[in-house]
Amino acid sequence: MDKERLYSEPDEATEDDEQGMFEHFRLNVDPGQTPMRVDKFMATHLEDTSRHRIQCAIKEGYVRVGEKIAKANLIVRPGDIIRFMMPYRRRGTEIIPQDIPLDIVYEDDDLLVVNKPAGMVVHPGHGNYDGTLVNALAFHLGIDPASAKEDDDERMGILVHRIDKDTSGLLVVAKNDETQMDLARQFFEHSIERLYVAVVWGNIKEDEGTIDGAIGRDPNDRLRFKVYPEDDERAKHAVTHYKVLERFGYVTVVQCRLETGRTHQIRVHMSHIGHPLFNDARYGGSDIRKGTIYAKYRQFIENCFKLCPRQALHAKTLGFVHPKTKAIIRFDSNIPEDMESMIAKWRKYVSSTSEDDRHP
């Protein structure tokens, strides 16, 4: 039997990319193999994966034998090739449960939805080994610190998707394999409803529009991403739909609906069309982009940056089909105080300026 990992483990640069939620594998069945059920064969040859988890993957249609989607009782024979994918689980990370307050919007036996504050890292690693959402979830779910490794205990809570450290908003967390597999499929099929609110530089001309631009890593800065031609192998197809909610001339409040879920997608796409997110240092939004740079205006912008000291982006709405009940459920969260205060400051500012000044 030959086992091949076809997709490398994601790093911090694929944290919000549904393609990065899966590991892809191939199993080649040896010529001397006795015919066997596919679920039993996979469990025998995947030492770090339980048969239950394999059966969940089969149920969701993640396993193929040849070109056929496999059922659990399908018999594999010598020469067969099994291709499958598993929703990714970060392995070997020691998780320390920490009593960190969580804003839990919804919870049942299968999942929970949490409203993450800006500044909280989602998962330990890369210099952030505690104080993360996962540390808080471990405490909330009553994990024993002696056995708190994410791959050892399903009760840890399984992250189905992620948002950036300095982006606030809604995340869904699975409590078991069945729920993770189902939700991961919904993300992969782009059927999850995700609405964000952002404040961007400039006065967007259209009331609504679509940005269709493939996204890949910037070769000059591995922490940044950029838009490439659609057929460029370095990038993945990405689509963002936006609608103007409020105009302040110098900046615009927009709603963004994700059709795909690439890393930094909204930040990259809005910057690409010349409207970077307000105070997004990585994509040029922490510079004063519009208006005359005179002392009063500059001071006003600096005060806005202090009110909202991060990119002005909030994951406001999240909707999906509940894996167990099959009901469509939808959650909405308030714009956080830092963004709301900054927007209110802009409203007050433009009310004291002329119409011409509001369209620099």
Give the active site residues.
164
At 75, the amino acid letter reads I
311, 280 Cβ separation under 8 angstroms: yes
Helix, coil or strand: residue 204? coil
Contact 275, 259 (CB under 8 A): no
Residue 107: strand, helix, or coil: strand
Q: How far apart are CA 132 and CA 118, in angstroms?
A: 11
For 258, residues 6+ apart whose C-beta sits below 8 A from its C-beta are 194, 196, 239, 240, 265, 266
- The single-letter code of the amino acid at 232 is D
C-alpha distances out from residue 332 to 62, 205, 240, 326, 329, Å: 31, 28, 19, 19, 10
Q: Residue 122: which of 155, 178, 185, 168 has the closest Cα?
A: 168
How many angstroms from the chain centroid is the CA of residue 111?
Answer: 16
Helices (H), 223-328: 265-272, 295-307
Distance CA 95, CA 172 (A): 19
